């Protein structure tokens, strides 16, 4: 899979250009017969013509990040987060800003200078800034501009027993699987949607679903994993190495029950590890797709990711392989079943 290459791309919500260009180039080499369109928001839809049901498979290209919101007189950059990022994971992290990937460090008052009260709580956004090495405002404004987007700066690394650590695993993992699925042949009318602005409100999927008008949809995601030190068994949500994850319900969508049960049956029949997500927090593009048109049957399959929406997330390659196998088997089952 192209996971390493995809994770190297900088594509925060609203500025997905790098990911879009790379994905289109790969599609043209992998599936030259496919029809590629780009909508006004920048989402990419790939159509592989068939004669059966209109099937939509979706994964989002964007990642959480930052946007430049101001400058201080002494040359520091003020910023806002793009997507859900806790301030507690920001201090001292490396970032890349603007089209030139200007390097910077998120800074805050050193612990030695903080009061007891300040040390007992995470720094607020108003206290944080990005140090780009500028001596004053004028120099900082030459390096980055108001409205420039930024991302965490981190390298894709394999470690441990088949583990991967990288920024943007949510949802370049889903994009990597979808690119693999596009190599296959299908009887149904297949639409593969690489959506945008998922992290800021599932926005791009609204446009994609209205355009495609699918009969059924499968969303591929990276999802929360809490199998870490201190977590009680009922708090684990998902487990790294436990296989692909299916969501029954989250804050944006409820999976179609017949579809949900069918996926469980397919996983059992094919011997593919499958776990059910144990929380209904968060949301995915399924929320927008499900409510489009007269309603769409949806399901969400994901790979568990520790430390999601942070500078470095972790996934297990075996889980990613399980997700790819299960997604392929589910699409084949959709061809055989009449919903």
Model pLDDT for residues 257-310, shown as the tens digit of each residue? 999 999 999 999 999 999 999 887 789 999 999 999 999 999 999 999 999 999
Q: What is the pLDDT of residue 234?
A: 76
Q: Is 198 a catalytic residue?
A: yes
The predicted-structure confidence for 194-236, as pLDDT tens digits, reads as follows 999 999 999 999 999 999 999 999 999 999 998 787 877 777 7
- Alpha carbon of residue 213 to chain centroid: 23
Domain 3-63+167-336 indexed as CATH 3.40.630.10: yes
Query: Is 65-152 the same fold as 3-63+167-336?
Result: no
Q: What is the CATH number of domain 65-152?
A: 2.40.30.40
Q: Which two tokens stand for residue 119?
A: 């040390």
The model's pTM: 0.94
The whole-angstrom separation of Cα 289 and Cα 94 is 35
Q: What is the pLDDT of residue 33?
A: 85
Among 198, 199, 221, 321, which one carries the catalytic annotation?
Answer: 198
Tell me the domain boundaries of the chain.
3-63+167-336, 65-152
Which residues of the chain are modeled with pLDDT < 50? none
């Amino acid at each position: 899979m192209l996971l390493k290459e995809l994770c190297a791309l900088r594509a925060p919500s609203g500025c997905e250009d790098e990911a879009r260009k790379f994905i289109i180039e790969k599609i043209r080499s992998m599936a030259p017969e496919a029809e590629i369109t780009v909508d006004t928001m920048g989402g990419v839809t790939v159509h592989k013509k068939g004669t059966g049901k209109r099937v939509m498979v979706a994964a989002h290209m964007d990642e959480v990040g930052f946007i430049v919101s101001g400058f201080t007189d002494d040359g520091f950059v003020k910023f806002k987060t793009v997507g859900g990022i806790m301030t507690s994971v920001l201090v001292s992290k490396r970032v890349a800003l603007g089209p030139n990937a200007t390097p910077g460090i998120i800074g805050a008052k050193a612990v030695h200078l903080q009061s007891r009260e300040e040390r007992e709580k995470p720094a607020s956004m108003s206290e944080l800034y990005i140090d780009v090495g500028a001596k004053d405002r004028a120099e900082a404004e030459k390096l980055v501009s108001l409205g420039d987007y930024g991302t965490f700066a981190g390298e894709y690394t394999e470690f441990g027993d088949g583990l991967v650590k990288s920024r943007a695993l949510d949802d370049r993992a889903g994009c990597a699987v979808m690119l693999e699925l596009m190599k296959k042949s299908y009887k149904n009318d297949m639409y593969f949607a690489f959506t945008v602005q998922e992290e800021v409100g599932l926005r791009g999927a609204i446009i994609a679903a209205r355009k495609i008008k699918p009969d059924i949809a499968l969303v591929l995601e990276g999802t929360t994993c809490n199998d870490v030190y201190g977590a009680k068994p009922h708090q684990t949500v998902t487990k790294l190495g436990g296989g692909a994850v299916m969501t029954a319900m989250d804050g944006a969508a409820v999976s179609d029950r017949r579809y949900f049960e069918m996926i469980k049956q397919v996983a059992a029949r094919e011997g593919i590890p499958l776990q059910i997500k144990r929380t209904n927090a968060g949301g995915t593009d399924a929320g927008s797709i499900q409510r489009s048109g007269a309603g769409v049957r949806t399901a969400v399959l994901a790979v568990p990711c520790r430390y999601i929406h942070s500078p470095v997330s972790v996934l297990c390659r075996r889980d990613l392989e399980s997700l790819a196998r299960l997604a392929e088997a589910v699409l084949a089952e959709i061809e055989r079943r009449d919903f």
